[in-house]
Structure 1
Amino acid sequence: MVRMSADERREGVIRAAIAEFAQGGYYGTSTEAIAKRVGVSQPYLFRLFPGKKAIFAAASLRCIDDVCRVLEEAGEGLEGEEAVHAMAQAYVRMIQEQPERLRMQMQTFIAVAAAEAEGDHEFGEAVRAGWMRLWETVHLPLGADENETTSFLAYGMLINTLAAMGFPPDHRVWQGMYPSARVSGPADGQGS
């Protein structure tokens, strides 16, 4: 049996946490379920992370980082409409192939709102900083145009909402996505 390093175990915990929190949210997910999924004891889990909140934060920020990476890679060397097409298609592919990433994003937004309502601003600040990394990731390939960046991210949030609600790919709510960019819709699995 191959022993894993603490970094490898930590990575395993983050992946397991994304899967578990995506399903149950912060309050509906136990650290026991995460430990079981990754194959470690709860005490070991808490040697890697100081608590459930830290595990959730790591999972949330990983999802943001993953979206940034996917968009960065898709838009590399492209500008304008070419960047819009490539990044939109890459994002839709990601949420189709890894739906837990979308669910985790939605759980993150809920958790930020709950934390803020309780006066805990630290988690929200970290997520907002991640969102700004996402903003910058798409801003430059879209010509550093605030309107284009806002439009791209707004369509992304609409895609998140419709996909999270389970609208099938051929439903009429998907019609008209990115009409000016003429990107194929989720019905054909190519874009937003």
Structure 2
Amino acid sequence: MAKDTSASVNRRNDIISAAIDVFAEIGYYRATTAQVAERAQISQPYIFRFFKTKEALLLCALEVSWTRLIDSFRIVVETATADQLENELIEAYEEILESHKNEILLQMQAQTIKEEDIRQAMQKGFTEVRDMVLEAFTTAGIANPKQKTLMFLAIGMLCNVSKSLDMPELMDR
């Protein structure tokens, strides 16, 4: 029985990974669960064993992406010195942007989706990141922590645009 549960968890994760890729590449509204199923190499009805709707699948995919980002930042906040905090947060974000680009592209697209549950998921993610960074900057004694947090988030958004449009010159410092 445990083997079936493990296989089921793995299959669910495969579906989420496929959804992240398909939604990021095609766009949530244009993507179909049939395309997600094809990418996950399963039948379309099998998706609905795990997710009642395409929106539920998107919400889960967003949760995965926000969790990865928040966990990565949490490690930095817990281990970085005050002097290195901002640079290490930037490096952590750049690593995620390189290794999980589609998760970030998915978040970018989700910002434009008007469905209330999706808006709330995005608001929750941004709020958690903002609050964590602000608290870390404040605790580290960084001058003007609110302004520094705002700039950190703004630069992160510019990183997203730079990456999605393949315009590295936007990030030239």
The count of residues paired between Structure 1 and Structure 2 equals: 165
Partners of 2:24 and 2:137 in 1: CA distance: 30
Aligned letter for 2:165? M
Partners of 2:9 and 2:171 in 1: CA distance: 41
Equivalent runs, 1:123-134 vs 2, <5 Å: 123-134=118-129
- Whether the 8 Å contact between 1:79 and 1:143 is mirrored in structure 2 is no
Partners of 2:111 and 2:67 in 1: CA distance: 15
Q: CA deviation at 1:53?
A: 0.7
Q: TM-score, normalised by structure 1?
A: 0.78
Partners of 2:155 and 2:81 in 1: CA distance: 18
Structure with bigger helix share is 2
- The answer for unaligned runs of 5 or more in structure 1 is 177-192
Q: 1:99 aligns with which of 93, 101, 110?
A: 101
Q: CA deviation at 1:7?
A: 2.4
In structure 2, what is the equivalent of residue 165 of structure 1?
A: 165
Q: 1:23 aligns with which of 25, 47, 56?
A: 25
In structure 2, what is the equivalent of residue 12 of structure 1?
A: 14
- Whether the 8 Å contact between 1:16 and 1:34 is mirrored in structure 2 is yes
Partners of 1:61 and 1:152 in 2: CA distance: 22
Deviations 1:105-136 (A, max 9, x none): 2121122xxx2xxxx32221122112111112
Partners of 2:160 and 2:31 in 1: CA distance: 22
Aligned letter for 1:175? D
Deviations 1:146-182 (A, max 9, x none): 22211111111111112211113xx3x3232xxxxxx
Give the superposed CA RMSD.
1.9
- The answer for unaligned runs of 5 or more in structure 2 is 140-144
What's the % identity of the aligned pairs?
25
Q: 2:130 aligns with which of 118, 135, 144?
A: 135
Q: Which runs of 4+ in 1 moved over 4 A?
A: none
**Larger RCO of the pair (alpha carbons < 8 Å, separation 6+):** 1
